[in-house]
Amino acid sequence: MIKVIKFLFIVLCIGAIAIIAARLLFPLPAVENRTDSTALPPPEDSPLGRAVLEQWADHPGKTGVGPLRTGADAFAARMLLADAAVSSIDAQYYIWHGDLTGSLLLDALKRAADRGVRVRLLVDDNGTAGLDRELAALNAHENAEVRLYNPFNLRSPKMLSYGFDFFRLNRRMHNKSFTVDGTATILGGRNVGDEYFDTGPTALYVDLDVLAVGDIVQEVASDFDRYWAAKAVHPAGPIVGPAPEGDPVGDAVRRYEGDPQLAEYREILAQSGLVTGLAQGKLDLEWTDVVLVSDDPVKGLGAVPREDLLATRLTQAVGEVKSRFDGISPYFVPGKAGVDAFATLEKRGVDVRMLTNSLEATDVLPVHAGYSKRRRDMLKSGVELFELQRQSTLEIPEDRVGPFGSSGASLHAKTFAVDGERIFIGSFNFDPRSTTLNTEMGLLIDSKSMAGEMHRAFDNGLDGLAWKVTLEEGDLVWRNAAEGTQTTEEPGASTLNGLAITIIGWLPVEWLL
């Protein structure tokens, strides 16, 4: 026994020495002489800005909102707003892929910078794999600047950095916003990448964004400034290196010439009247009260007081839930505290319904393990649970497209509706990671129409796209009423993933999920 203890002690010492050595060998560049710019005011010479101000004047103190339910609308809105910019673009994202949509949007930012538009791009470094050359090129532009949130010490392979800097790198910036000319902003669940805009051959995500103009935009702009100047944020230049020769951003787009998917995106842009309608005052916006809820970026450096967490402030902003709570969370890990909170609502007479990914649709197996561990307790407390079925990527009939867009391989929207009066749209999942580790943001919107639409989607069985999970005589049952099917075998389950889920459920890792 003594020998075993000595051996373990030696291993721990070697490990500690290796971690210290790695940190000394691969330090992050010091942040020196950084100038933190701030949001520019809405320009007076912008046709888009003038049109918005005219509408806003008729709704003082209010925000105009319009949901972007489909990936095509969400993609077009970002591209067309970027092309309409005359003053500034501030973009903040957790993931920015180097695929077609990622390349097109980077190219749109570069074209804007070429026109004299000031571009600020803030990305979480966890989701920028393979983009160092493109980010370096954009950062070198005289009118653009790129910054990275909690950057990785090693550039390739990045994941090795977790071995000696885990507790910092485990904290990520999950926020998503796209603000143009201080006039219009897009917030929601979508990152930048083909799968988030549900066209082409990739797996689709059910997602939801909202376009907002008016009162809330300056708050979003100020929140961006807060992150831009945060201690966890580093200028990209010393991390990704100097700009390479040539035009890597343009080259990335040109690689797709002749690709049918590029033609599809161009057709989407040509047909979209979203920005034109906004500029002409013809876009159907709902003018209402909106609250921005956002984590303090200091969360990326360590634990913060519970009262300062987005989850706490969001609960306060929502206030008392009286009768209905319908939520959508792709990564749903309620933990014991969440189960107790839902049970308390049920005891007060509130109907709670939640939609998450089924095992067959999830893209993160450990998260499903954290959810399934609490599933029976939630059902016993009275919570109604729905799990999105795995769907084909493009063969979805129009009459089965719900209020959150077409259904694909995986759910990604993060939203909930309360009492037919308010709806939250943002980046926040119902899981420990969103609560205590990642930074999050979103909008709480007073909207009977949007909240009612979400409630009706649940009332209608989510258009037959989800299993309703029930507990009958001690057995879990997955039922699809629209198709008249049911099973007591978890859809997508196998011996291997069942064993993995069981083992993960035993481990003390729920706080990481």
Q: E-strand spans in 85-215?
A: 88-95, 118-127, 144-149, 177-180, 184-188, 205-206, 209-214
State the pLDDT at residue 461: 85
What confidence score (pLDDT) does residue 403 get?
34
Residue 402's pLDDT is 36
Q: Kindly list the structural domains of the chain, giving each domain's residue range(s) and its CATH number in brackets, ordered by start.
A: 63-280 (3.30.870.10), 292-512 (3.30.870.10)
- The CA-based dihedral angle spanning residues 362, 367, 369, 373, taken in that order and rounded to the nearest 10 degrees: -120
Given the residues 97, 176, 368, 373, select the one marked as catalytic.
Answer: 176
How many Cβ atoms from other residues are within 10 Å of residue 350's Cβ?
18
- The neighbour count for residue 6, using CB atoms within 10 Å, is 10
Instruction: Name the catalytic one among 62, 97, 174, 468.
Output: 174
Q: Name the pairing type of β-strands 118-127 and 144-149.
A: parallel
Contacts of 490 (CB under 8 A, 6+ apart): 358, 359, 476, 478, 498
pLDDT in tens, 330-388: 999 999 999 999 999 999 999 999 999 999 888 888 889 999 999 999 999 999 999 99
| Residue-level pLDDT at 44 | 82
Low-confidence ranges of the chain (pLDDT < 50): 392-408
- The whole-number pLDDT of residue 16 equals 63
Return the pLDDT at 49. 82
170, 377 in Cβ contact below 8 A? Answer: no
d(CA 163, CA 85): 42
Is 412 considered catalytic here?
yes
Based on the residue annotation, tell me whether 414 is a catalytic residue of this protein: yes
Cβ neighbours, 10 Å, residue 333: 27
Reported pTM: 0.92
Residue of 31, 235, 212 lying closest to 123 (CA atoms): 235
Catalytic residue among 124, 326, 419, 431: 419
**Which pLDDT does position 406 carry in this prediction?**
32
State the catalytic residue, choosing from 368, 414, 455, 468.
414
Residue 50 Cα to chain centre, angstroms: 30
Residue among 90, 99, 125, 181 flagged as catalytic: 181
Which pLDDT belongs to residue 398? 37
Which positions ≥6 away from 54 have C-beta within 8 Å? 281
- For tokens 């101000």, the residue is 53
511 vs 513: CA distance, rounded Å? 6
Strands (E), 262-329: 286-288, 290-294, 324-328
User: Is residue 296 annotated as part of the catalytic site, yes or no?
Assistant: no
- Give the pLDDT score at 94: 96
Residue with tokens 């959150």: 404
pLDDT tens-digit map of 151-199: 998 888 888 888 888 888 899 999 999 999 999 999 999 999 998 887 6
Catalytic, 419? Answer yes
Q: Is the dihedral of CA 88, 438, 193, 453 positive or negative?
A: negative
Q: Which of 110, 299, 373, 412 is catalytic?
A: 412
